[in-house]
């Protein structure tokens, strides 16, 4: 029997003095959160600039833009790429307002452009994200002195050179007390301690978010309910379930919404991750669902049906086995859907990715489950007219 997405969704149920109460997140202003990550490396080979977030129409549909990544070093928040962040002079052609950066005048680089973007879209809130897959090793040391870490982050966010630009912070620790690129034994209270210290240092009006794994096996390693209590939301990384290391197959969609007959791991779905987060005691209104603006693919495949063998990862523009939606939508359009996401078979390659249609269904799921909204990793993978961001907005705020 086939269960619709909506039917399935319906089944989801400065430091303070010690005596002072913990600051709580500011109350939600209402409406779903539509969040997009912008990476500091987008402006290099991809030539995706802050200006493109505006001209594509994405900025008008986003509620939050998350700038990735700052780094965590010696227990402190640090800039990740100073050249891209604030040193690089931006030309008039790449500038949000058509004016080139001039030496000695104003803030340069992505930060200068983000300030111009916020001036053009006053309702857009900007967060600075720290960590990421390759940048999470420093969190374990930071967690040993959370107040010092939080104070360093507050100083950096309020640096006079870009004061007022950032509305808060995103912590992307992959993965506390578990294994990401590296393993740590920080303990289940390490991340909650960092987020609590950040809330104290930044105050109740700052926006604080934290990324959480989509892998249900990792969700028990940390007290994510305690994280959610102090954060405005937690961002469930519900993608990359398949296709990141299994180069010989079987082919499977990297971001299925629901399980399907023959799925290699039944719990490797968005729905399973959301259910687990709810089981951990995290309110639905504190969960933001993650979607990828890219596909994962294999080559040497002889069957369009999911579950086929492969000879390796498909060739991608920037990385083997990975390609932007904006490219795949032209070069290898969908040939089917399974588990609530799309797949494509062309020229011996098999790709899986979300389309505007499947994203609208995922957003309907998020609405029905009472989730806080959705976030996208990351904006450069979209089309020039922001088809995926527009689908997120349409799905989360239907007429």
DSSP letter string, 208-220? EEEEEES-TTTGG
pLDDT reported for residue 80: 98
pLDDT reported for residue 1: 38
In tens, the pLDDT along 168-187 reads 999 999 999 999 999 999 99
d(CA 266, CA 377): 23
**Residue 172 contacts by C-beta under 8 Å, 6 or more apart in sequence?**
68, 69, 129, 130, 131, 132, 135, 136, 210, 211
Quote helix, strand, coil % in the chain, to nearest 5. 30, 20, 50
d(CA 81, CA 69): 8
pLDDT reported for residue 21: 37
Residue 272 lies in a domain: yes
Q: For position 383, which CATH number holds?
A: 3.20.20.80
Selection from 370, 397, 395, 373 nearest residue 10 by Cα: 370
pLDDT reported for residue 4: 37
Q: Tens place of pLDDT for every residue, the chain, 399 residues? A: 333 333 433 333 333 333 333 454 544 457 999 999 999 999 999 999 999 999 999 999 999 999 999 999 999 999 999 999 999 999 999 999 999 999 888 899 999 999 999 999 999 999 999 999 999 999 999 999 999 999 999 999 999 999 999 999 999 999 999 999 999 999 999 999 999 999 999 999 999 999 999 999 999 999 999 999 999 999 999 999 999 999 999 999 999 999 999 999 999 999 999 999 999 999 999 999 999 999 999 999 999 999 999 999 999 999 999 999 999 999 999 999 999 999 999 999 999 999 999 999 999 999 999 999 999 999 999 999 999 999 999 999 988
Domain residue limits at 264: 32-293+355-396
How many Cα atoms are found within 13 Å in the side-chain-facing hemisphere of 359?
28
Which position among 174, 319, 323, 378 bears the catalytic label? 174
Q: Is the peptide bond before 312 cis (omega within 30 degrees of 0)?
A: no
Residue 370 lies in a domain: yes
Domain count, the chain: 1
Residue 335 lies in a domain: no
Sign of the CA dihedral with 364 first, then 365, 369, and 375 last? negative
Residue 306 lies in a domain: no
d(CA 280, CA 332): 39
d(CA 92, CA 156): 28
Residue 318 lies in a domain: no
In tens, the pLDDT along 371-397 reads 999 999 999 999 999 999 999 999 999
Tokens of 168: 């808060």
Widest distance between CA atoms in the chain: 66
At 76, is the secondary structure helix, strand, or coil? strand
d(CA 85, CA 67): 9
In degrees and rounded to multiples of 5, residue 222 shows phi and psi of -135, 150
Residue with tokens 């390490």: 190
Q: Are 132 and 174 in contact (CB under 8 A)?
A: yes
Q: Which alpha helices (H) appear in 218-374, and where do they start and end? A: 224-230, 270-279, 325-331, 356-368
DSSP state of 179: B
Flag whether the pTM goes above 0.75: yes
Residue 315 lies in a domain: no
Residue 338 lies in a domain: no
Selection from 192, 188, 185 nearest residue 210 by Cα: 192
Per the annotation, the verdict on 147 as an active-site residue is: no
Residue 21 lies in a domain: no
pLDDT reported for residue 399: 85
Our CA dihedral for 166, 36, 291, 238, rounded to 10 degrees, sits at -10
Q: Are 174 and 239 in contact (CB under 8 A)?
A: no
pLDDT reported for residue 235: 98
Q: Are 14 and 201 in contact (CB under 8 A)?
A: yes
């Amino acid at each position: 029997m086939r269960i619709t997405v909506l039917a399935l969704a319906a089944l989801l149920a400065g430091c303070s003095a010690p005596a002072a109460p913990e600051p709580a997140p500011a109350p939600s202003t209402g409406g779903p959160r539509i969040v997009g990550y912008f990476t500091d490396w987008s402006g290099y080979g991809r030539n995706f600039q802050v200006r493109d977030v505006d001209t594509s129409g994405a900025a008008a549909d986003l509620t939050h833009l998350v700038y990735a990544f700052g780094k965590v070093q010696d227990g402190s928040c640090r800039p990740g790429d100073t050249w891209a962040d604030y040193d690089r002079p931006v030309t008039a052609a790449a500038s949000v307002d058509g004016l080139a950066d001039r030496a000695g005048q104003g803030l340069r680089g992505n930060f200068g452009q983000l300030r111009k973007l916020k001036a053009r879209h006053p309702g857009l809130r900007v967060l600075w994200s720290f960590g990421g897959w390759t940048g999470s090793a420093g969190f374990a040391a930071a967690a040993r002195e959370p107040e010092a870490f939080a104070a360093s982050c507050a100083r950096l966010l309020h640096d006079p050179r870009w004061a007022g630009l950032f509305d808060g912070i995103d912590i992307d620790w992959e993965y506390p007390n578990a294994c990401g690129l590296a393993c740590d034994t920080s303990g289940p209270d390490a991340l909650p301690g960092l987020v609590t210290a950040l809330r104290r240092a930044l105050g109740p009006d700052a926006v604080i978010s934290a990324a959480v794994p989509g892998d249900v096996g990792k969700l028990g390693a940390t007290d994510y309910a305690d994280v959610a209590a102090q954060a405005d939301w937690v961002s469930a990384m519900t993608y990359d379930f398949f296709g990141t290391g299994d180069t010989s197959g079987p082919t499977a969609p990297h971001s299925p919404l629901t399980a399907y007959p023959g799925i290699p791991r039944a719990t490797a779905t968005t729905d399973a991750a959301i259910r687990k987060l709810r089981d951990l005691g995290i309110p639905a209104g504190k969960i933001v669902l993650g979607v990828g603006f890219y596909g994962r693919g294999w080559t040497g495949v002889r069957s369009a049906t999911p579950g086929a063998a492969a000879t390796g990862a498909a060739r991608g523009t920037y990385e083997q086995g990975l390609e932007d939606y904006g490219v795949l939508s032209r070069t290898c359009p969908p040939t089917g859907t399974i588990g609530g996401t799309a797949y494509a078979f062309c020229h011996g390659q098999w790709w899986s990715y979300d389309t505007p249609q499947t994203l609208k269904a995922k957003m309907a799921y998020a609405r029905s489950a009472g989730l806080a909204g959705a976030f996208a990793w990351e904006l450069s993978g979209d089309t020039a007219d922001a088809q995926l961001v527009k689908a997120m907005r349409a799905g989360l705020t239907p007429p």
